[in-house]
Amino acid sequence: MIDFSGKVALVTGGARDIGREVSFALARHGASLAVNYFDNPQDANETVQFIMKTGGKASAIQADVTKPQDVQRLVESTLKHVGPKIDVLIHVVGGLVARKKMEEMDEAFWDTVLDLNLKSAFLVCKAVLPHMVDGGSIVMFTSQAARDGGGPGAIAYATAKGGILTFTRGLAKELGPRKIRVNAVSPGMINTTFHNTFTKPEVRQRVAGMTPLGREGEAPEVANLVAFLASGAASFINGESVEINGGIFFA
């Protein structure tokens, strides 16, 4: 049974797309939510208002999770406005930024992508862990790109998401004595703003056609997996990355 009653969850990037659906799923199962956003307060407020209208508790908190001072403020605001401790951390934040091949990349672009996807995970976990209860749970977001190298111009992104795989496993070992479980989800082609922005419609159609289930995934499907991994229903799953791609790729 998935039950987050009395628990506090922090969802980075929790205001839209998969992050929004994760926030909804955790709230639906009883969690009080800190919904982090970067630059779109309208999305964050809509997410929070929906949770509150359906009987949940949530607070929108702005922070750039690539900056240590912002991350610290995010954690402090969570403790102040949502609850005195943190039980669940879902780190959704990440992105491709742009498709660039090696000859098109400079050091600044590489650093931007690695900071957004990998450094942010380090900063958030480091800030949250002193306030996470023993027996808590963390769910990270990697990608199918971490396994297969990604599509054209996604080397930096795929590298960062590969780092998340290793970070998840190492952290799971380190936090085992505190009974804090650390897992990851690895989405394939999911119908989100990410692919609306970076993937051509004909490519999406082709990938969907190659997928055994014959379609793209949807954000609520990913959110349901995240809720399971974060919950006591997954109490002996630790250091794992679960592929969610309709069967187009097997790790």
- 38, 157, 167, 228: which one is catalytic? 157
Cβ-Cβ contacts under 8 Å for 73 (sequence gap 6 or more): 63
The partner residues of 89 in beta bridges, in order of sequence, read 10, 138
pLDDT in tens, 227-242: 999 999 999 999 999 9
Residues 192 and 197: their CA atoms lie apart, in Å, by 9
pLDDT exceeds 80 at position 246:
yes
Strands (E), 74-170: 86-91, 132-141
Axis-axis angle for helices 155-175, 120-128 (nearest 10):
20
Written as six digits, the tokens of 184 are 């990851």
Q: Cβ distance 62 to 41 under 8 Å?
A: yes
Pick among 3.40.50.720, 3.40.309.10, 3.40.50.300, 3.40.640.10: CATH of 8-244: 3.40.50.720
pLDDT given for residue 198 in this prediction: 74
pLDDT in tens, 200-214: 889 889 999 999 999
pLDDT given for residue 106 in this prediction: 98
Judged by DSSP in three states, 202 sits in helix
Q: Compute the average pLDDT of residues 65-72.
A: 98
pLDDT given for residue 251 in this prediction: 75
Query: Any catalytic annotation for residue 157?
Result: yes
